Amino acid sequence: MSFKLPKLSFSYKDFEPYIDRKTMEIHYSKHHATYTNNLNKAIYETDMTNISIEEILKRAHIETLMIRNNSGGFYNHNMFWEILITPSKFILPSKDFSEIIKENFKSFENFKEKFSTIAINCFGSGWTWLCVQKNKKLTICSTTNQDNPLMYSIGCDGIPILGLDVWEHAYYLQYQNRRIDYISSFWKIINWNKVEKNYKNVIK
């Protein structure tokens, strides 16, 4: 079995003006495609060809750096595309999920500010995550490079339900060094229905 680049449910231009067409095209067809291809090369003729990407991530700390980086890059980008929605279809979180966010972060604005601050301060390349912990509480954390919370002892516990790519390839063509503006735009294209669905799948 080999892993496949997922089909997108949108076109590259659909997120303008928040993310430009060229960035989306390069991000998906170059960066994500490379992670996918390199992951398949790394696990070829190993016992990892018949296990899920989640199981690979759980043992990535004892595997080669190539497996760690590319399994993370494959999984992280899959989630990134899934939790995006085009501006024309954007809606705020449902009443129920808004209450869950409020219970964990006092208010949606407080959650948004905390997530944005952690994303802005993620040094170098990495990701910022909204995760569900074992006690069903929500937490925010960042990982470096293509690491993610499913990896062993990463210092970012829980199961991710939303992830923001803060590598420069995700925003540099449009925003240059203005990561803060890219993060601000991200809040306008989150598919909250998908994030809530991810949450329910974790706690059920």
Residue 110 lies in a domain: yes
Is 11 inside any structural domain?
Answer: no
Say what the pLDDT of residue 48 is.
94
Averaged over 177-197, what is the pLDDT? Answer: 98
Q: What is the pLDDT of residue 1?
A: 61
For residue 30, the domain's CATH number is 3.55.40.20
Q: How confident is the model at residue 62 (pLDDT cuts 50, 70, 90)?
A: very high
Interval 114-173: pLDDT, tens: 999 999 999 999 999 999 999 999 999 999 999 999 999 998 989 999 999 999 999 999
pLDDT of 76-122, one tens digit each? 999 999 999 999 999 999 999 999 999 999 999 999 999 999 999 99
Rounded to an integer, the average pLDDT of 32-36 is: 98
Number of domains in the chain: 1
What percent of the chain clears pLDDT 90, i.e. is strictly above it?
97
Q: Supply the pTM of this predicted model.
A: 0.96
Asked if the structure places residue 14 within a domain, the reply is: no
Say if 131 falls within a structural domain. yes
Residue 139 phi, psi dihedral angles, 5° rounding: -140, 155
What pLDDT score was predicted for residue 97?
Answer: 98
d(CA 192, CA 190) in angstroms, rounded, equals: 6
The domain in which residue 161 lies consists of: 19-204
Structural domain contains residue 77: yes
Residue 177 inside a domain? The answer is: yes
- In order, the DSSP letters of 38-82 are HHHHHHTTSGGGGS-HHHHHHTGGGS-HHHHHHHHHHHHHHHHHH
Asked if residue 2 belongs to a domain, the reply is: no
Instruction: Judge whether 179 lies within some domain.
Output: yes
Mean pLDDT of the chain: 96
